[in-house]
Structure 1
Amino acid sequence: MQPDIQAKQRTTLEKNKGWQVWWQLMRPHTLTASFVPVTLGTVLAFEVFNRVHIGLFLAMLIASILIQAATNMFNEYYDYKRGLDNEESVGIGGTIVRDGVHPIVIMRLALLFIGISILLGIYICVNSSWWIALVGVISILVGYLYTGGPLPISSTPLGEIMSGLFMGINIILISYFIQTGTITTTAILVSIPTTILIGVINLSNNIRDVKGDKEFGRKTLPVLLGRDNALKIMAASFFISYIWIIGLIIFNHLTPWLLIVLLSIPKAYKAVKGFMGKTEPIEMMPAMKATAQTNTFFGFLLSIGFIISFIF
């Protein structure tokens, strides 16, 4: 395998213009799962103080993106080590097997990203609370254990829950806390739909890979419950996320401007419909893209709804 990898390394720059390989390695379409929660948490904080510490916002944003990118790289590395990736694999993973990037290079780059995020974390702690350091360490550890370690989280039914918790409510509340010094019930409640939708991104990935995961003995949610039931969970998750916002407006007296999130419903519908009747992974790629876009649009529209309420 080593000579093949080295041969591919020599042609990577020529075939993919170099930077595109590294950009793809970060799985950029998934990074909004970091950008959206940080933005939402900061917007919620602005509602409390009518000001934002730009330095803390940027540090939190960059650190979150770097940790997620590093997690994607750990996934790339360990999927290769376990033989889950090959040249026929569908998706943007497989930089090692398709583009010839050496596994050690990917691991070192992931560790570099973690190192930079730790430095940013120190800045955040100095300007907020050192309790953030504990949460940050746990988040990094979970990111590694998602695909690393003897029993990867991604191979269990907990993948959706852990990704939702640590990429959703965790990031939103940290972003809120470092700006305000506190956590409120409203911030927790508002973070729930985004937490659900980030978990659904993971679910969509597992629905696509259910056949291969069965072959490798992975026990993901779609493997255990079946593809059709997993798709029902996806549809129910979308429904709950929208109903949740409507409930917050009615029972918690949040601004009606939050109803702007309903504009993202077509993307959610497209995601669910895109999986129906599909059996081949390549056929499900548009549905996976629509799933990620639903989270992105939902989160941004929710933030915009709060911003409009500030103005009017």
Structure 2
Amino acid sequence: METTTSVKDALKERDGLHIWWRMLRPHTLTASFVPVFVGSMAAWTEGKLHVFLFIAMLLASILIQAATNMFNEYYDFVRGLDTDESVGISGTIVRDGLAPKTVLRTALIFYSISILLGVFICVESSWWIAVVGLVCMLFGYLYTGGPYPIAYTPFGELFAGFFMGTVIIGISYFIQTSEVNARIVLISIPVAFLIGSILLANNIRDLDGDRENGRKTIAILLGRKNAIGFLGLLFAAAYLWTIVLVIVHILPLWSLIVIFSAPKAYKAYSNFRGKTKPLEMFPAMIATGKTNSMFGILLGLSLLIDHFIG
């Protein structure tokens, strides 16, 4: 119990409604908000923005991400991977005593609401969105659910970056413009890099525990030092890709404002170096999520500025 108390204190975990808020893992929700914002702002540069579609897509994306987090919490607990000493979890089951079935039911409710929002989106755009949306939800479940969880493989970052980055940006753009083109795919790539980096940061922090539990994440295969180097490479690639897109006039000059988020990326990278304990690396994990938030908001704002100023 002493360890549990120290972990709760170190992570500043509180009781009451904070338990339910923490169950959403809010620091990861940037991976759902940013792609919708960027895709929608890219559509607005062409003078097309249906506000209610934007809101519905934003809510559906956040609900799917939150439900995925809950599936992760539930199945890791069922498989005996989470303990009261685990850092990379919300702790609502092992530390707060929330019933596992409650977590699972909440995830299913969130999925159900996102399906209803998806119906509205399909009615206003195209029923092909239903197919893509269901595939995204399936992979969200299969990340930790099913007989062969993606989270146990080296492909978690790839799937996260592709589905939460490129696919969600593409959907957000399509429902506004009724098309997907090479430009929006290219714009999505730096965001995909940063969303992948969130999962990589998580896996770096949890490397020792994941190895003991038989996972084969890319962080485990590379080793901690090389994985941190790979994280820095993903950060650099996101900024360099954006600069190239500005040079070739796919993004406006305003998009260079994303560079203002670079210090946060460097903080995340540097805070991982030399650290081996999960609690020591937790601030670096938070900084990685904030890097994605700052980068994505600045990228979306640059498109918005270009729409109004040109």
TM-score by length of 1: 0.93
Q: Map 1:1-312; keep pairs closer than 5 Å.
A: 16-48=14-46, 50-312=47-309
Residue 18 of structure 1: how far off its partner (Å)? 2.1
* Runs (5+) with no aligned partner, structure 2: 1-12
Could you say what the CA RMSD is over the residues aligned between the two structures, in angstroms? 1.1
Residue 211 of structure 1: how far off its partner (Å)? 0.4
The question of whether the paired residues in 2 share the 8 Å contact of 1:80 and 1:94 is answered with no
Residue 17 of structure 1: how far off its partner (Å)? 4.3
C-alpha distance in 2, partners of 1:57/1:40?
11
Deviations 1:237-275 (A, max 9, x none): 111110101101112353111000000000010011000
C-alpha distance in 2, partners of 1:92/1:272?
21
Query: Comparing 15-24 with 295-304, which one deviates more in the overlay?
Result: 15-24
C-alpha distance in 1, partners of 2:14/2:247?
51
Residue of structure 2 equivalent to 1:7? none
Deviations 1:80-103 (A, max 9, x none): 011111111113422101000000
The question of whether the paired residues in 2 share the 8 Å contact of 1:24 and 1:92 is answered with no
C-alpha distance in 1, partners of 2:234/2:106?
34
C-alpha distance in 1, partners of 2:126/2:307?
28
Q: What one-letter code is carried by the residue in structure 2 that aligns with 1:46?
A: W
Q: What one-letter code is carried by the residue in structure 2 that aligns with 1:267?
A: K
Q: How many residues align?
A: 297
- Which structure would you say has the larger RCO, counting Cα contacts within 8 Å and 6 or more residues apart? 2
TM-score by length of 2: 0.94
Residue 228 of structure 1: how far off its partner (Å)? 1.1
Identity %: 57
Q: What one-letter code is carried by the residue in structure 2 that aligns with 1:45?
A: A
C-alpha distance in 2, partners of 1:35/1:222?
26
Residue 16 of structure 1: how far off its partner (Å)? 4.0
- Distance change in 2, residues 1:262/1:16 (3 Å): closer
C-alpha distance in 2, partners of 1:16/1:43?
37
C-alpha distance in 1, partners of 2:132/2:250?
31
C-alpha distance in 1, partners of 2:97/2:269?
34
- Distance change in 2, residues 1:248/1:279 (3 Å): same
C-alpha distance in 2, partners of 1:142/1:178?
21
Q: What one-letter code is carried by the residue in structure 1 that aligns with 2:18?
A: Q
SS of match in other structure, 1:91 = coil
Q: What one-letter code is carried by the residue in structure 2 that aligns with 1:30?
A: T
- Distance change in 2, residues 1:103/1:155 (3 Å): same
SS of match in other structure, 2:275 = coil
Residue 151 of structure 1: how far off its partner (Å)? 1.1
C-alpha distance in 2, partners of 1:253/1:36?
19
SS of match in other structure, 2:94 = helix
Query: Comparing 170-179 with 51-60, which one deviates more in the overlay?
Result: 51-60
C-alpha distance in 1, partners of 2:95/2:101?
16
The question of whether the paired residues in 2 share the 8 Å contact of 1:267 and 1:291 is answered with yes
Residue 52 of structure 1: how far off its partner (Å)? 1.2
The question of whether the paired residues in 2 share the 8 Å contact of 1:235 and 1:272 is answered with yes
The question of whether the paired residues in 1 share the 8 Å contact of 2:73 and 2:89 is answered with no
C-alpha distance in 2, partners of 1:17/1:276?
33
C-alpha distance in 1, partners of 2:50/2:276?
48
Residue 232 of structure 1: how far off its partner (Å)? 1.1
Q: What one-letter code is carried by the residue in structure 2 that aligns with 1:216?
A: N
